[in-house]
């Protein structure tokens, strides 16, 4: 895990001055994120979420804020809206630090359950149901610039750096090397790219926010479904059918799956696990952000194998 950036109350005050905010009362460190150091900052009349980037570069961070601003403009109810600096920019620079500021949203991450899966499914469906402005949409980054879709996964298996167990798992799951999947047209738009249940907040038993759009971008809704189901519909670390059904019930109440999405959903769930597994390889094995998690990608390969054996597709 990336090193947690520790700042003082005075440093927080100086950063917030860039936003025209003052009268800081309290600074509270939050979760030890991989990509960010997070702080709740209480002022006399409001609370904000201060994020310091530990992993992403400033361009990636700016691209993420452009997506969040766009989602807010299109009426998506669950994403945070970045607060603009006095200069109107969305990414601050302060000494060696850079990051972003959001309103603070109350809530706690839920545990996996039928209710959680249903609510997360509905939130994802609302994201996939946005009426897009094609002129603006095309200017936003593609998911592949920060995440891994089917083609990127296939190409990585041909890379000499690819671990043998990852390559072997891919060919076991997809003996046709995804030929049929890649030749199928799926609906596209803005996808989250990492909507596990622990990237949400619930308040009073209702979903109040979807967090961490770090892997968001233009992409296929089906991939987003596969990723979200693979990290949300879990019991004892396994993707199980009853929770998948609860997720889909929440999702399809808002956006019914297309025939192609239904046909390839199980493959998309496997690809979702391979996508996040590859994300872990890139960060923890190739970049050594946390040596203790170097082989954590294998946990997702095991989860994919369990799901594959359960479905036998």
pLDDT(54) > 80: no
Structure-token match 């890649």, residue found? 182
pLDDT of residue 1: 31
Q: Does the CA dihedral 224-135-130-210 come out positive or negative?
A: positive
- Check if 9-103 and 114-311 are the same fold: no
Q: For 128-185, write each residue's pLDDT tens digit.
A: 999 999 999 999 999 999 999 999 999 999 999 999 999 999 999 999 999 999 999 9
pLDDT of residue 33: 59
Q: How far apart are CA 176 and CA 113, in angstroms?
A: 35
Q: For 271-297, write each residue's pLDDT tens digit.
A: 999 999 999 999 899 987 778 889 999
Q: Where are the domains of the chain?
A: 9-103, 114-311
**Contact call for residues 141 and 191 (beta carbons, < 8 A):** no
Q: Which CATH architecture best describes the domain 9-103? A: 2-Layer Sandwich (3.30)
Q: What is the mean pLDDT of residues 187-210?
A: 95
Q: What is the mean pLDDT of residues 181-193?
A: 98
Q: What is the mean pLDDT of residues 259-273?
A: 98
- φ/ψ region of 22 (left if φ > 0, alpha if ψ in -120 to 50, else beta) reads beta
Q: What is the DSSP string of 77-140?
A: SSSPPPPPPTTS-SSEEETTEEEEEEE----BPPPS-HHHHHHHHHHHHHHHT----HHHHTTS
Domain 114-311: which CATH class? alpha beta
**Contact call for residues 265 and 228 (beta carbons, < 8 A):** no
pTM of the entire predicted model: 0.93
Compute CA 258 distance to the chain's CA centroid, rounded to the nearest angstrom: 23
Q: How far apart are CA 239 and CA 26, in angstroms?
A: 41
pLDDT of residue 132: 97
């Amino acid at each position: 895990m990336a090193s947690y950036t520790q700042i003082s109350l005075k440093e927080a005050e100086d950063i917030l001055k860039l936003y025209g905010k003052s009268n800081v009362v309290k600074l509270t460190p939050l979760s030890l994120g991989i990509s960010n150091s997070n702080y709740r900052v209480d002022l006399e009349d409001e609370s904000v979420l201060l994020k310091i980037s530990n992993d992403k570069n400033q361009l990636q961070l700016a691209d993420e804020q452009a997506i969040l601003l766009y989602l807010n403009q299109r009426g998506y109810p669950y994403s945070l809206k970045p607060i603009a600096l006095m200069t109107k920019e969305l990414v601050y620079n302060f000494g060696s630090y850079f990051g972003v500021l959001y309103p603070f949203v109350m809530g706690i991450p839920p545990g996996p359950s039928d209710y959680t899966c249903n609510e997360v499914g509905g939130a994802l469906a609302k994201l996939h149901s946005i009426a897009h402005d094609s002129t603006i949409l095309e200017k936003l980054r593609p998911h592949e610039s920060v995440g891994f879709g089917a083609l990127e996964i296939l190409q990585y298996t041909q890379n000499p750096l690819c671990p043998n167990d990852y390559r072997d798992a891919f060919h076991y799951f997809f003996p046709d090397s995804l030929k049929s999947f890649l030749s199928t047209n799926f609906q596209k738009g803005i996808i989250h790219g990492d909507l596990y249940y622990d990237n949400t907040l619930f308040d009073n038993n209702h979903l109040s926010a979807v967090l961490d759009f770090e892997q968001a971008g233009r992409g296929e809704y089906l991939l987003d479904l596969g990723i979200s189901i693979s990290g949300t519909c879990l019991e004892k670390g396994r993707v199980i059918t009853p929770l998948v059904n609860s997720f889909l019930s929440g999702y399809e109440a808002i956006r019914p799956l297309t025939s192609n999405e239904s046909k390839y959903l199980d493959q998309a769930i496997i690809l979702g696990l391979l996508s996040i597994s590859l994300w872990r390889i890139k960060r923890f094995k190739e970049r050594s952000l946390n040596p203790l998690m170097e082989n954590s990608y294998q946990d997702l390969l095991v989860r994919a194998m369990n799901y594959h054996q359960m479905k036998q597709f």
